């Protein structure tokens, strides 16, 4: 498939046909994460009409899929509801370090994690996103005030995601510490860390650059809705 030479050119499809295949729903050359895990879907870099038909069948009539990577214009009948320019950053040179204050988060912490995400909007995070990898958090007075974790995992690399800090706890370097700590988990497994950010989020990008991340490529995050009437191919 088209992501084999460099999995990070098409990370969603590389993850769903590789390390994250247990979370995948697939049809033909197309795959998506289970809808309670994350809204991302993967299609080839050179999608055919059949690929789009398969994505429509997976999404369901009027269903939404989020694509990450290079622009792939949707065909007639699809509607683009979000087109967000972004960057993919390479963490090969980042300095990683475990953090003594960071605690492992799991299913029992999901309500607090969802609340923190709702207040800080770091990107999609659903009830089962925590199952994708290791999530670490920092608590103050028992309350979760910062977190970061692993999302897409492709052969040889893992994405750091859901980096967020409660507004009242910002300015203390908590997010940077958690990124380093999650990066240490990734490195210990033998993977390289990477991450995505909105191109407009220049403040976060500057922080990531100080941590050692470098720009790998420009990407787009595109949310598309399938046609209202889906005709599945045989």
pLDDT at residue number 2: 47
Q: Is the pLDDT of residue 234 over 60?
A: no
Query: pTM for this structure?
Result: 0.93
Higher pLDDT, 2 or 19: 19
pLDDT at residue number 78: 96
The shares of helix, strand and coil residues in the chain, as percent rounded to the nearest 5, are 30, 35, 35
Q: Tokens 């209202």: give the residue.
A: 228
pLDDT at residue number 229: 75
What is the mean predicted confidence (pLDDT) over 31-43?
A: 97
Q: Is the pLDDT of residue 205 over 90?
A: yes
Q: Is the pLDDT of residue 165 over 50?
A: yes
pLDDT at residue number 232: 53
pLDDT at residue number 231: 58
Q: Is the pLDDT of residue 171 over 70?
A: yes
What is the mean predicted confidence (pLDDT) over 21-25?
A: 98
Q: Is the pLDDT of residue 71 over 70?
A: yes
CA atoms of 222 and 71, how far apart (whole Å): 8
CB contact set of 152 (below 8 Å; sequence gap of 6+): 11, 12, 15, 20, 40, 132, 158, 159, 161
CA atoms of 35 and 128, how far apart (whole Å): 9
CA atoms of 176 and 219, how far apart (whole Å): 23
pLDDT at residue number 122: 94
Query: Chain-wide mean pLDDT for the chain?
Result: 95
| Nearest CA among 145, 140, 142, 139 for reference residue 165 | 145
Report residue 87 CA to chain centroid gap: 12
pLDDT at residue number 202: 95
Q: Is the pLDDT of residue 164 over 60?
A: yes
Report residue 83 CA to chain centroid gap: 16
Strands 192-198 and 157-165: parallel
What is the mean predicted confidence (pLDDT) over 58-73?
A: 95
Q: Is the pLDDT of residue 1 over 70?
A: no
112-156, pLDDT tens digit by residue?
A: 999 999 999 999 999 999 999 999 999 999 999 999 999 999 999
CB 144 within 8 A of CB 168: no
């Amino acid at each position: 498939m088209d992501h084999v030479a460099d999995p990070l050119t098409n990370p969603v499809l590389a993850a769903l046909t590789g390390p994250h295949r247990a979370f995948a729903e697939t049809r033909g050359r197309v795959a998506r994460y289970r809808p309670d895990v994350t809204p991302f879907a993967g299609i080839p870099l050179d999608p055919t009409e059949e690929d789009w038909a398969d994505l429509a069948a997976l999404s369901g009539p009027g269903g939404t899929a989020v694509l990450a990577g290079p622009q792939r214009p949707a065909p007639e009948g699809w509607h683009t509801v979000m087109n967000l320019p972004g960057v993919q950053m390479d963490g090969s040179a980042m300095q990683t370090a475990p953090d003594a204050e960071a605690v492992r988060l799991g299913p029992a912490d999901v309500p607090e994690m969802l609340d923190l995400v709702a207040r800080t909007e770091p990107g999609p995070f659903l009830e089962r996103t925590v199952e994708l990898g290791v999530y670490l958090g920092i608590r103050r007075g028992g309350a979760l005030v910062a977190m970061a974790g692993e999302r897409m995992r492709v052969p040889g690399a893992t994405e750091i995601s859901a980096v967020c800090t409660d507004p009242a706890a910002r300015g203390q370097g908590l997010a940077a510490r958690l990124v380093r700590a999650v990066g240490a988990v990734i490195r210990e497994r033998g993977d390289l860390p990477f991450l995505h950010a909105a191109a407009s989020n220049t403040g976060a990008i500057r922080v990531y650059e100080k941590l050692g991340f470098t720009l790998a490529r420009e990407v787009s995050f595109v949310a598309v809705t399938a046609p209202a009437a889906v005709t599945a191919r045989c």
